[in-house]
Amino acid sequence: MSEEQRHPRALTIAGSDSSAGAGIQADLKTFAALEVYGLSAITAITAQNTLGVRAAFELPPELVEAQIDAVLEDIGADAAKTGMLATAPIIEAVARSVARWQLRLVVDPVMAAKSGDPLLRPEAVAALRGVLLPLAEVVTPNLPEAEMLTGRHIETLEEMREAARAIHDLGARHVVVKGGHRLDAPIDVYFDGTGFSELRAERIETRHTHGTGCTFSAAIAAFLARGLAVAEAVAEAKRYVTEAIRHAPGLGHGHGPTEHFWQWKQSKEAQTR
Ligand SMILES: Nc1ncnc2c1ncn2[C@@H]1O[C@H](COP(=O)(O)OP(=O)(O)O)[C@@H](O)[C@H]1O
Ligand SMILES: Cc1ncc(COP(=O)(O)O)c(N)n1
């Protein structure tokens, strides 16, 4: 097998974030940092910065499907992830592509930006739940997204476990209910259909969490593309996102981006010492 054939590759199907902290841009940076070749299919273009989303333009579903077909017919993907999908017709087009290409899929059910601005039309939640979740190998809702998907209020770890089970019942094979929105430790609950475990990390006191969910789900897809089992991929992705938050460069006046290349920067510093 040639080098080219062995190089792992992953596809992100998501929205563009002009501030490059979230969306397609965060996903491609994550793939690159984890040495996975990144492919992209853009669903929507947003004009946003660390303070909020000023405008969004949704692309036609046929164009989303055409981007996926173009890269998969030629290059192929070992894993894929979805982020901002914006509308029900885009979700349906993505679901068709995922089924046709039999993609190993990580679904980040993005509904809003950190600023609170909506990124998914309210009527599209039903399509996300009914059409896309049954195709997901892993789904990674944050607390408000898990509440929208289950119709339950979620606060405690026990409520996070109950939500993970309810989302698994919708068809997703592995569920991570993320606890970044909790006030105490950012503990995530992982459910594989049989047992629960917790992904624990220290809370980093920072406002720079723009794109943490995108980064986490992209890292899971990257580790799956590299051949890790789901539980390992999720654990490694948790470590990756924690360090990405820790090394955030402190940009912008609102929720700034995280840092993806801290390891590369550290090795460069070590060489010049
Ligand atoms: N301040 C923080 N310190 C450490 N980890 C965090 C922090 N905020 C979020 N995380 C982690 O980052 C990941 C993304 O979570 P979250 O911020 O809840 O997602 P989203 O961006 O979808 O709202 C999760 O693993 C979460 O636990
Ligand atoms: C285009 C786009 N996609 C997703 C998010 C959410 O980012 P996150 O929930 O990871 O902060 C965003 N702000 N913009």
> 184 pLDDT exceeds 90?
no
CATH topology of domain 9-201+210-272: UDP-N-acetylmuramoyl-L-alanine:D-glutamate ligase (3.40.1190)
Q: Is the CB of 176 under 6 A from ligand 1?
A: no
pLDDT value at position 5? Answer: 57
What is the C-alpha separation between 85 and 94, in angstroms, rounded?
9
Per-residue pLDDT averaged across 215-224, rounded?
98
pLDDT value at position 267? Answer: 80
> 2 pLDDT exceeds 60?
no
What is the C-alpha separation between 24 and 163, in angstroms, rounded?
28
Q: Please pick, among 214, 238, 242, 256, the residue that the annotation labels catalytic.
A: 214
Nearest atom in ligand 2 to 44's CA:
1
Give 123 Cα–ligand 1 centroid separation in angstroms: 26
pLDDT value at position 3? Answer: 54
Top pLDDT among 146 and 186 is at: 146
Count the neighbouring beta carbons within 10 Å of the beta carbon of residue 9.
Answer: 19
What is the C-alpha separation between 191 and 3, in angstroms, rounded?
35
SS3 246: helix
pLDDT value at position 199? Answer: 96
> 4 pLDDT exceeds 80?
no
Q: Is the CB of 140 under 6 A from ligand 1?
A: no
